Each structure stands twice: as structure tokens, then as C-alpha cells.
Amino acid sequence: MEKNENKEKLSKAGHYEIHGETIAKFEFFDNGYNPYSRYLDIDKVDLILRKREGSKIRYVEVQVKYGRLYECGGKWEKELFDHTSWRFFKPDEFVDSHDNLFVAYVLSHPDGYKGDIFIFPAKAFNQLINKGIACKNGEKMEICIAHAKKDDNWYMWRKMRFDKIDDSTTVNVTRYRRNFDLKI
């Protein structure tokens, strides 16, 4: 198979989402959960997790999103970050979420997955979406998550260009990386 044919097959709709869901299943299983897949993606649920905690059973619902990490290209980016990923979401996409819904955002490097999975409570992810970068038409928000060179933290950008990392330009999302305790 030629390189262009393979690239075209890999770019088919849903292909990367399947990779993200598969990676998420392995990650959750390795962290003590039993992941069940839903046949239909309704109610924003891709996986149902089951975990025994003492004598109780905990069930959690998960929506999986997948993104690719890219090396930062712009001069201003390279000074602060080494890798970034971006994706578009509707404002208030998770506004009606319940406390038991989480968003697993799997980010993969060009040379393979390296454990960069972010697990957000859906309500917290909704707040982050609304702090993202508004698209010109106002219908979507751009969510850029990047790895900082200086402090090894992960940040969501609030602006498209900036020269320093602070609360007005970014939101630190490091605490959600590998958040398998599913902390709110």
C-alpha cells in the first residue's frame, strides 16, 4: 500500500476516535476499572467504567475525545511550549452533564502515544471550553492544550498569542493529566 493511500485511509472520519477509545480502555483497565463500551454514542457516553471500592461498586460514564500533539511551530510558541494540540467544541457542549460523567481527552504524539490522557469531570471541561479561544463566527471554541518547556506543566490557552504564561493567558490543566482517581 502506498504512503498516500494509507494516509487517506487513516484520515477517514472516526478512525482517530476509535484509537482514542481503545487507548482509554487500556488506560482505565490498567488503573483498576472495568471498561464497557456502548454500542451507540448517545448521551455523550463512549465507555461505562465499573470499579469495586471496598464493598461498593462505582460506575462512571466517559466521553472520549482524541487529539494529536504537534511540535510547536510559531516563534512565540516555541519559546514557551514544545507540543500542542487543538480541537473545536461548541460552547456549553457539556453544560447539562451530571457529576458522574467524565471527558477522557487522549493526546497522541506523532511517534506514538506516551501516556498523555487527561480526565476531566464533564462540568469542569465545560467551564474550560468556555474559557477557550472563541472562533470568529462564535459557534465554536478552540481548545489548545500545550506542554510547557519551563515547568513541565500542561496549559490550556485562553489567547492565541502571548509572551508569558499566567492566569490571563492560560489555565493550568496538569492536575487532570492521568486523573484516574476521577477527582472532581
Angle CA 63–68–73, to nearest 5 = 140
SS3 call for 146: strand
* Confidence check: pLDDT of 6 > 60: no
Helix (H) or strand (E) holding 84: strand 81-89
Helix (H) or strand (E) holding 9: helix 3-10
Q: What is the mean pLDDT of residues 93-118?
A: 93
Q: What does the pLDDT read at residue 20?
A: 87
Output the pTM of the full model. Answer: 0.83
pLDDT band at 154 (very low <50, low <70, confident <90, very high): very high
> Do residues 71 and 83 touch, judged by C-beta distance below 8 A?
yes
Fill in the DSSP letter of residue 93: T
SS3 call for 184: coil
pLDDT, tens digit, for every residue of 66-92? 999 999 999 999 999 999 999 999 998
For residue 157, the one-letter residue type is W
Q: What does the pLDDT read at residue 123?
A: 96
Which has more pLDDT, 1 or 4?
Answer: 4
Q: Would you say the C-alpha torsion 147, 15, 160, 138 has a positive or negative sign?
A: negative
Q: What is the mean pLDDT of residues 46-51?
A: 90
The chain-wide mean pLDDT, for the chain, equals 89
pLDDT, tens digit, for every residue of 33-48? 888 776 566 677 888 9
